[in-house]
C-alpha cells in the first residue's frame, strides 16, 4: 500500500453566513473552484493529473444541489476528464472527503487526488435539505428506537453528564476568540488563505466572523439558546436515554457555540509514485484515519472514540500528538474530549476554532487539516490530530505527520 502525502492545503476566508456576509455574493460552486485553481497555481500542476475531486457538502440542495464537486471542477474550467463526487457525513464531510482522497492514493488506484469541502450557509440555510422536517427526517420508526434531539440539546446533555459548567464553556469561548485574534494579527493563516473576489470586486482575504469583544463578561450575559425548547419537551426525550440525570443544565449560547459561516477548502494528495512522477514536494503524510459510531441521543461524543481508534492504528498515545484540532461545534464537545483523553489544553486549537472563526459545515474538516499542517510547520512539530463530532452520533479523526 502506498503512503498518502499532503502536497498542499488551501482555504477561502470564512464569511458570515448571512445575506450581507463577505462571501454571500459568491456561488458555492465558484467558491470551491477558487480553491481548486489556487491548488493548481501554487503547485504548478496541470489539472488533468488530478484523478478525482472529492468534496464534502452537507446541505446538498438549491445552490449546492446535484454534485457540487463535479460542478466545482467545471466552474474552475478544468479539463472534462477530471471527475468529482460529493460526500455528506454532516460536520465531518470535509475531513471525510480528504480521507477518501487519501484512500484512493493509498490503494494504488490513483496517484493524485484532491479532497475538500464547501458550505455557503448564507445561500443555503442549515437544515435546508431536511425540507422542514424534524430531526428524525420524518421517519417515526427511527424515533421509536432512538430518542433523537437537536444537536444543541445533545451538547447541553454532554455538559450535564460530564460536569462541564457554563463558566468553563464561556472561558473556553473567550480563549477561542483571543487565540483567533492573535493568529489573524500575526498572519498565521496567510499560508493557507486565498483571497477571494466578490461580485462587486471587493477582495476578501481574512476571516470575518471573529469578535474580539467577546469577553468572558460579555459571554456570561448571553441567554442559553436551547433552554426554552429543551424544557418544553426535548429534554424529556433525551432523558429517556439517560434516566440517571434528573435535569439538563443548559449552558450553550450563541457565544460558546460555533459560528454560521461560508467557506471552502481543498487538500491535494499524492501517492509515493505520484510525487516521483510529477516532482511534487510533500508537506505531510497521512498516518491514520478513523470513524466511529456513538449513541445518537448524546450524539456529539465521537471525537473521543474516533481519536482513540486513530491513535491505536498509528501506534501512538495522546501525549505523542503535538497539536490537536478538535472542532468547536460546541464548547462542551471540546472540553469533554480534552478531559476524556487527558490532553493539555495548550495543545488544543492553538489558533482558535469554530466558535471564533466559524463552522462552514461541509468544509470545516478540510480547513482544520490545513490549519494543523501550517501550525506544525510554524512550530517545527511532528504530529497533529484533527477530529470532529458528527450528527447522528458519529466521530471522525485523522492524524498527520509533518515531513
Known catalytic residues? 91, 359, 389
| Phi, psi for 148 (deg, rounded to 5) | -80, 140
Q: Is 204 exposed, middle or buried (0-12, 13-18, 19+ CB in 10 A)?
A: buried
User: 132-146 burial string, b = 16+ CB within 10 Å, else e?
Assistant: eeebbeeeeeeeeeb
Q: Is 202 exposed, middle or buried (0-12, 13-18, 19+ CB in 10 A)?
A: exposed
Helices in 260-330 by DSSP H: which ranges? 272-278, 302-314
Lookup: cell for 322: 503535538
Lookup: cell for 144: 421509536
Q: Whats the size of the chain, residue-wise?
A: 403
| CA separation for the pair 351, 98 (Å, rounded) | 21
| CA separation for the pair 393, 304 (Å, rounded) | 12
Express the helix, strand and coil content of the chain in percent, nearest 5 each. Answer: 40, 20, 40
Q: What is the DSSP letter of 352?
A: B
User: 246-279 burial string, b = 16+ CB within 10 Å, else e?
Assistant: eebbbbbbbbbbbbbbbbbbbbbbbbbebbeebe
Amino acid at each position: 500500500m502506498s503512503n498518502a502525502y499532503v502536497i498542499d492545503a488551501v482555504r477561502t476566508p470564512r464569511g458570515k453566513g448571512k445575506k450581507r456576509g463577505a462571501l454571500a455574493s459568491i456561488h458555492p460552486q465558484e467558491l470551491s473552484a477558487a480553491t481548486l485553481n489556487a491548488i493548481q497555481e501554487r503547485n504548478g500542476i496541470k489539472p488533468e493529473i488530478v484523478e478525482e475531486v472529492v468534496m464534502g457538502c452537507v446541505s446538498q440542495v438549491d445552490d449546492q444541489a446535484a454534485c457540487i464537486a463535479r460542478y466545482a471542477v467545471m466552474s474552475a474550467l478544468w479539463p472534462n476528464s477530471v471527475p468529482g463526487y460529493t460526500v455528506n457525513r454532516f460536520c465531518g464531510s470535509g475531513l471525510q472527503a480528504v480521507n477518501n482522497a487519501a484512500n484512493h492514493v493509498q490503494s494504488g488506484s490513483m496517484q493524485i487526488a484532491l479532497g475538500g469541502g464547501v458550505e455557503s450557509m448564507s445561500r443555503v440555510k442549515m437544515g435546508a435539505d431536511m425540507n422542514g422536517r424534524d430531526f428524525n427526517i420524518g421517519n417515526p420508526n427511527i424515533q421509536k428506537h432512538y430518542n433523537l434531539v437537536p444537536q444543541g440539546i445533545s451538547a447541553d446533555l454532554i455538559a450535564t453528564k460530564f460536569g462541564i459548567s457554563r463558566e468553563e464553556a464561556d472561558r473556553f469561548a473567550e480563549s477561542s476568540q483571543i487565540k483567533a485574534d492573535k493568529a489573524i494579527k500575526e498572519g498565521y493563516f496567510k499560508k493557507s488563505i486565498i483571497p477571494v473576489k466578490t461580485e462587486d470586486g471587493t477582495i476578501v482575504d481574512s476571516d470575518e466572523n471573529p469578535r474580539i469583544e467577546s469577553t468572558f463578561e460579555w459571554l456570561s450575559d448571553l441567554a442559553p439558546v436551547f433552554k426554552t425548547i429543551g424544557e418544553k419537551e426535548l429534554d424529556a426525550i433525551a432523558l429517556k436515554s439517560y434516566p440517571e440525570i434528573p435535569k439538563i443544565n443548559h449552558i450553550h449560547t450563541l457565544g460558546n457555540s460555533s459560528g454560521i459561516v461560508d467557506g471552502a477548502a481543498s487538500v491535494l494528495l499524492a501517492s509515493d509514485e505520484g510525487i516521483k512522477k510529477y516532482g511534487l514536494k510533500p508537506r505531510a503524510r497521512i498516518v491514520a484515519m478513523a470513524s466511529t459510531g456513538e449513541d445518537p441521543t448524546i450524539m456529539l461524543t465521537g471525537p473521543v472514540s474516533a481519536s482513540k481508534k486513530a491513535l491505536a492504528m498509528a501506534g501512538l498515545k495522546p501525549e505523542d500528538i503535538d497539536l490537536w484540532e478538535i472542532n468547536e461545534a460546541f464548547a462542551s464537545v471540546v472540553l469533554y474530549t480534552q478531559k476524556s483523553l487527558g490532553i493539555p489544553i495548550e495543545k488544543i486549537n492553538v489558533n482558535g476554532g469554530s466558535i471564533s472563526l466559524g463552522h462552514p459545515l461541509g468544509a470545516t474538516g478540510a480547513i482544520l487539516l490545513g490549519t494543523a499542517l501550517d501550525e506544525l510547520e510554524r512550530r517545527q512539530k511532528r504530529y497533529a490530530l484533527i477530529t470532529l463530532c458528527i450528527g447522528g452520533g458519529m466521530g471522525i479523526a485523522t492524524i498527520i505527520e509533518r515531513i
